[in-house]
Amino acid sequence: MTEEKETKAEHRGFGMADKEGKKGYGTITEEALNALKSRIGVERVRAGKPWQIEVSRWTWSAIRAQAQACGDYNPLYWDEEYAKKSPYGTLVVPPGALYGIEQINAATDGMPGMHALFRGLALEWYKSIVLGDIVTGKAYLTNVAVKGSQLSGQSVIQEYDTYGYNEKGEVIGKLFTSWSRHERQAAKASHETARQSARLLARYTSEELERLREDFKNQAPRRGSEIRFWEDVQVGEELPYRIKGPTSQAQRMVGEGGGGRRGGVFAEIGGTSDWGQLHAQIWKMFERHPALPFLNDQGIPEVPVAIHNSNDWSRQYLGLPGGYDAGVQRVHWGVHLLTDWMGDHGFLRKITIRFPQTVMMGDTTWLRGKVTNKRVEDGKHIVEIDYTHENQLGHTVTAGTAEVVLVSRSDPHAKTWD
């Protein structure tokens, strides 16, 4: 059992060696581009059986797990009595959950072997999501464009529009996602990864940790049930900051790895995702997708999501300083900043988000926002906000814009959403 007989090829994963021999694998070819372009405008829905859709209904325990994963204790999500008295009249689902309508991600759509980097996304909300709702999605590839890139010479931009539907078939929101695809060999030699590798993992002294604790305790309370009127908002006004972190493996498992029934888009052991399987079933999965697993420190094949939630494995298998986040939870954190400011009567109608840098495990992130404009459109009183997330090194890791609808004193009983 202890004799090591593995060859280098075997270390790359269960069957990976076969795929890399294929012509054109991992490079931009005319053939691969055309194959991908032929999917533009085609409706894509993640294969799901009725029970997998039913299990995604937003029950009280599902809402609680989602809110807990974000570290957001807004009573709209937790307290039925409070929520009944709110404009929603019932428990509310944290709006970042709309991201769950994603049906397809560029990493697994065309041009096999090409590295996929997430560039950014936008979310638009038309209706609220509340207790008892089921939200489904339909996605369309909208754009495939070759461009030059600093990262690896040439890359391909790949973009999707995804629409979210409630059970009545009404469109309740929309997700736009943008990816860039890179040839893997070139990506490995890129400046970006070199820069990331140069950065060491955070290590806080006890004084530094104490300052973070103070920042956590000094967070201003959320607006809550007190109406924030559009007229009272000043352009240039700053939103009360929020602090998230230092993150840890424990936090990742709750926030991104799927603690409880639903905690994120990644493998949920025991959940509905095929990646979350064990014993006999995981072998069936590996039979279908032999290039998927990596071999862990014991020579056991595992799904790759286990790597990025481990400092040691991200170092060992990817040459990164440590565990990196997948971006999902930053969407939720950003939503938390905005919903805490807007109050129970406001409505988050849009965010755009880009990810200039990775959030490494152990990082602390401060979320800040500023009002940049106010306008009235179709009777809606809108506030525009720029926001950034900065880490403990002072680097901006996330940035974007948001639009919030607020109540106007001219019509204080109007609801801010459809």
Partner 1 sequence: MTSGVDPLAMEYPKHTSKITDEAIAELKGLIGREIRIPVEDWRIGDSKYGIGDIKVLCRAIGDFNPLFFDPEYAKGTKYGKQVAPPSIIAEMLQIDPGREVLCGARPVLKAVTLEWQVPILEGDAILGKTCVRKVEEGAAPSGDGRVVSQEYETTITNHRGETVGTAKHTFECYERGSAAEAALFADRVPARYNSEEMEAIHQEYRGEEEAKVIRGAEPRKWEEMREGERIRHILKGPTTSGAAPYLSKRVNSPFGLGYSGGISRWYDGLRDAWEQPEKWPELFLLNEHGALEPVEAIEWQHVRSMRFLKLPAKEANSERIHWTAQLVTNWMGDDGFLKKLDLKFPKINILGDITRCYGKVTGKRVEDGKHLVEIEVWNINLVGDTVTTGAAEVILP
Within residues 259-318, the interface with partner 1 by CB under 8 A covers: 259-261, 263, 267, 269-272, 276-281, 283, 286, 296-303, 305-306, 310-312, 315
Nearer to partner 1, 77 or 230 (CB): 77
Is residue 30 at the binding interface for partner 1, with CB under 8 A as the rule?
no
223-238 burial, b if ≥16 CB within 10 A, otherwise e? bbeebbbbeebeeeee
Question: 305-313 long-range CB contacts below 8 Å, 24 or more apart?
Answer: 305/257, 305/266, 305/267, 305/275, 309/249, 309/252, 309/253, 309/256, 309/257, 309/361, 310/249, 311/201, 311/249, 311/361, 311/362
Site string for partner 1, 205-224 (x = CB under 8 A): xx-xx---x--xx-------
Is residue 328 at the binding interface for partner 1, with CB under 8 A as the rule?
no
Nearer to partner 1, 28 or 202 (CB): 202
Is residue 69 at the binding interface for partner 1, with CB under 8 A as the rule?
yes
The span of 31-39, 150-158, 226-234, 256-264 binding partner 1 (CB under 8 A) equals 256-264
Work out the burial of residue 221: count CB atoms within 10 Å of its CB; fewer than 13 is exposed, 13-18 middle, 19 or more buried.
exposed
Where do the H-state alpha helices sit in 26-79?
30-37, 50-54, 60-70, 75-78
- For residues 244 and 71, the answer to whether their CB atoms sit within 8 Å is yes
Please, what is the minimum distance in Å from the beta carbon of residue 91 to partner 1?
10
Site string for partner 1, 31-50 (x = CB under 8 A): --------------------
185-204 residues near partner 1, rule: CB under 8 A: 199-204
Is residue 378 at the binding interface for partner 1, with CB under 8 A as the rule?
no
Please, what is the minimum distance in Å from the beta carbon of residue 277 to partner 1?
6
Is residue 8 at the binding interface for partner 1, with CB under 8 A as the rule?
no
**CA 386 – CA 367 distance, rounded (Å):** 11
Q: Which of 54, 170, 226, 418 binds partner 1 (CB under 8 A)?
A: 54
Is residue 71 at the binding interface for partner 1, with CB under 8 A as the rule?
yes
* Euclidean distance between the first and the last CA atom of the chain, given in angstroms as a whole number: 63
* Separation in Å, CA 16 to CA 86, 182, 288: 53, 19, 13
Is residue 245 at the binding interface for partner 1, with CB under 8 A as the rule?
yes
Nearer to partner 1, 31 or 297 (CB): 297
Contacts of 257 (CB under 8 A, 6+ apart): 263, 264, 266, 267, 268, 305, 309
Is residue 86 at the binding interface for partner 1, with CB under 8 A as the rule?
no
Please, what is the minimum distance in Å from the beta carbon of residue 14 to partner 1?
8
> What phi and psi, each to the nearest 5 degrees, are found at residue 284?
-65, -40
Nearer to partner 1, 19 or 199 (CB): 199
Is residue 68 at the binding interface for partner 1, with CB under 8 A as the rule?
yes
Is residue 20 at the binding interface for partner 1, with CB under 8 A as the rule?
no
Q: Tokens for 382? A: 């809108």
Is residue 3 at the binding interface for partner 1, with CB under 8 A as the rule?
yes
